[in-house]
Amino acid sequence: MPLLLFPISPPCVPPPRPRLRRLSPPPPMAAVAPPSLSTPVTILPSVSVALPPLPPPATDDFHWLDLFAFLNSPADSYQIPVEEQEVEVEVEVEVGVERERERERERERARKAEHRRLRQRQVKAETEAWARAADEYRELEREMLDRRLAPALPYVKSLFLGWFEPLRDAIARDQEVQRRKRVKHVYAKYLLLLPADKVAVIVMHKMMGLLMSSKDGVASVRVVQAAHCIGEAVEREFKVQTFFQKTRKKSAGENDLALEKEQAKCRKRVKSLVRRRKLTEAQKIVQQEIELEEWGTESQVKLLYSHQLTKHQRVLQIFDQHLNTRLKKKHWVIECDPLVHEGFESTARHVEIPYLPMLVTPKKWKGYDTGGYLFLPSYIMRTHGVKDQKEAIKSVPRKQLRKVFEALDTLGSTKWRVNRRVHNAVETIWSRGGGIAGLVDKENIPLPERPETEDPDEIQKWKWSLKKAKKANRELHAERCDTELKLSVARKMREEDGFYYPHNLDFRGRAYPMHAHLSHLGSDLCRGVLEYAEGRPLGKSGLRWLKIHLANKYGGGIEKLSHEDKVAFVENQLPDIFDSATNPVDGNCWWMNAEDPFQCLAACMDLSDALKSSSPQCAVSHLPIHQDGSCNGLQHYAALGRDYMGAAAVNLVPGDKPADIYSEIAARVLDVVREDSMEDPATNPTASLARVLVDQVDRKLVKQTVMTSVYGVTYIGARQQITKRLQEKGLITDDKLLYEVSCYATRVTLDALGQMFQSARGIMAWLGDCAKMIASENHPVKWTSPVGLPVVQPYKKYKNYMIALQRQKAAFPPNFVHSLDSSHMMMTAIACKKAGLHFAGVHDSFWVHACDVDKMNQILREQFVELYSMPILENLLKEFQTSFPTLEFPPCPSQGDFDVREVLASTYFFN
């Protein structure tokens, strides 16, 4: 008896209702091949079920039904399966899929609910930010009230509001006394020339200007200096007021109308100059129009001499006048109460506090002031009030800024969190007083005691050492405040699962987090405390890059080795690395010897976790791995000029190990110094300086100067850099000798740079010449970066709003290169985002997860080649010629034979 096998619907599940459709007639049966089963038939247990006979089919109309003629078998029963295991499996799969879909829907609902909760917290944090700042101001105000310093609020206008009435009344009483006297005081002649309210305003403005512009952070001014400045301002105001009064009077005669028009024009000109603070020019016009005798310095000082200022300061209650005896010539000084100065510092410090890291992804950038924070004011560029730059970025089409918006959105979408283990180590060291692992010491440097001798030389040395110690303590105080701000943000964000940094740009296009204190742009402390919120498995390549990253952060010359040597170094240090990870503060503290100690500690912990796991390559890592350019400014100059020699020096050309430009320059400097040291000091004055310097030339001595040479460092700036390095060595104690040796070392270093990078020097000179021509027309230098960002140099003379020619010229080469490195970073960020990488960038340092380093390295090289496949200098020249058609710009510098595509194979281009 044949078994009949056909699908049977499972119990309790109705069979699907067949769909009816019109069928076309089949071909004749002779042309139809017998059907074959696509799947094997399984014989299942069956039972007999009685069925009625089927009527014969109408095969005349449907010949294809003959294929199923066996359905009309004469048998009296059919065999139908009851248990079907395949059907049960299908049902279970469908139920499992449905359950998984439901779980996914639940997870999605939970994610949306969590996002709503975080967004509500973010909205609350932003809207309450200014309220918190106001509370802090009120607390400081209460402290001032307790000390009877009510007028000294932490903002200048409030200070003036508190001072004005008592000061005006005191001056008015003094004026009235002088009017009644037969024999008036020496200063009465000048004090009575202006109303008391104007004198009070002049005194307030001049005193605050002098105190806030005082040097060394001390709010003090000499009495004579204050009296002279106030007297000079009173004289100027008196002359201007006299000028306005005289020119308003109607003159007799036939030319009255013409004279009145001329005087009105003159008055308008003087008012305009005074409003724009061009007081010298206004004074010249006044002097020409009216004849008034000059007061002279003696008369100006008499107006408010010492005891007069003393009376006014008693009214204000925040100034102290005392005799300064620290110098040979004793003099009276006026000092401001320290609490007032703290109020000003607090005001400046709290301005940026509202801009904390965000709990949700920042708004996408869509315009100049649309993007970033949800409610706090956010601007895509930090224009610092420069109208030209603001108008330039507002005027370009939004489509032109698409890449800029996309890059900033990419940087802002990277999710961060606090590395709690590193943060614990930082807090432990800080609670113990700091002073190690790069943390500032909480204790001040002790001040040297005054020597008992009266020897003038010894006294002078003591004064210099005292001055240096006080300066160092002020710097330590500033560093402590900065460290505490960073740690306060870390404590606040420590328990968050993640947070984001909205980014905006400076005028050159470089991206910066809008939060100022704790960000990956900051110091080693900041970078060590931060990590990616989302982790990724290391993989084989990621484990290797983690070791290379640890070696780079340890430094000490290790960063100059090949990748293989770096990996070997780390593997040889594994016991110290494990000890650093498990007992960072009380162990052998190997990580504290690193150049970037907290970043090194974070890498030690990450590597230790991976190697101690059952499968190191499967360990999840949250650590961002850095790939840094090799003297990136010179890399861009070498690519611009197609300079093969310069390209090889900065790793644009493939090599077995990284080329170190700093060591190369140091070697050249050392060769010159050695040659000079062998000369006779009688014939070669530099010989004696070379002999002092010869044992101190190393990579560190020249590194900062080489690094900043492409950014327009001046001779004076380079000398100061080298002086600081020599001071750190501590081998030269005589200040005069230190200065002379620094000058000599600076000259040799800059000469070595010029010889190695002649092409870069030529491009810098060409850029400077073009900038000089544009600035000579009283126009700022402006251009468009390769990603479409308009750039305008903001340098003007603030006294007359004219273009600062020299600064426009000197700043253009470094600013132009900065616009190129920012373009490369933006292009790389966009490409990494499309490739699914979590990207972070700090100018010429690009960060991703360890497992993604190889992919990012490929991307950043491809983007560099794409950038320099553009005719950048030619496009810049065309833009200048279009903007200034009347100027004859010099042609672009000639280029070398370097093929920029060699970068694709350069392992150490970024490493």
Asked whether 17 and 93 are in contact (CB, 8 A), the reply is no
The predicted-structure confidence for 734-780, as pLDDT tens digits, reads as follows 888 889 889 999 999 988 888 888 888 889 999 999 999 999 999 99
- Going by pLDDT thresholds of 50, 70 and 90, the confidence category of residue 76 is very low
Is the whole model's pTM more than 0.85, yes or no?
A: no
In the beta sheet, which residues pair with residue 81? 46
19 pLDDT higher than 80: no
CATH pick for 364-415+503-514+623-643+774-911 out of 3.40.190.10, 3.30.70.370, 3.30.70.1450, 2.60.40.420: 3.30.70.370
DSSP-derived secondary structure letter, 381: B
Sign of CA dihedral 458, 460, 463, 468: negative
Residue 405 vs residues 322, 364, 368: alpha-carbon distances, Å: 58, 7, 10
Token output for 729: 């060595």
**Please, what is the end-to-end C-alpha distance for the chain in angstroms?**
79
Query: 536-621 — its CATH code?
Result: 1.10.287.280
Higher per-residue confidence, 276 vs 895: 895
* Topology (CATH) of 657-756: DNA polymerase; domain 1 (1.10.150)
Instruction: Tell which CATH classification among 1.10.1320.10, 2.40.30.10, 3.40.1190.20, 3.50.50.60 matches the domain 147-350.
Output: 1.10.1320.10
Residue with tokens 């956010």: 378
Q: What is the pLDDT of residue 388?
A: 85
The number of C-alpha atoms within 13 Å of 356 and in the hemisphere containing its C-beta is 29
Q: Which residue has the higher pLDDT, 302 or 808?
A: 808
Q: Check residue 336 and give its pLDDT.
A: 66
Query: Over the stretch 335-370, which tens digit does the pLDDT of each residue have?
Result: 666 666 555 545 544 444 468 899 999 999 998 888
Q: Which helix (H) or strand (E) holds 504?
A: strand 503-505
Q: Is 78 helix (H, G, I), strand (E, B) or coil?
A: strand
Instruction: Inform me whether the pLDDT recorded for 590 exceeds 90.
Output: yes
Residues that are catalytic: 628, 703, 844
pLDDT per position as a tens digit, 241-279: 676 666 665 444 445 666 666 666 666 666 666 655 565
Contact criterion met (CB below 8 Å) for 459 and 379: no
Question: Which of 249-253, 293-297, 384-388, 849-853 has the least mean pLDDT?
Answer: 249-253
Q: Which residue would you say has higher pLDDT here, 469 or 91?
A: 469
Nearest to 654, CA basis, from 577, 562, 591, 726: 562
Bridge partners (DSSP) of residue 503 are: 513
Query: Cβ–Cβ contacts within 10 Å for residue 817, how many?
Result: 25
pLDDT tens column, 633-687: 889 999 999 999 888 888 999 988 888 888 888 888 999 888 888 888 888 888 8
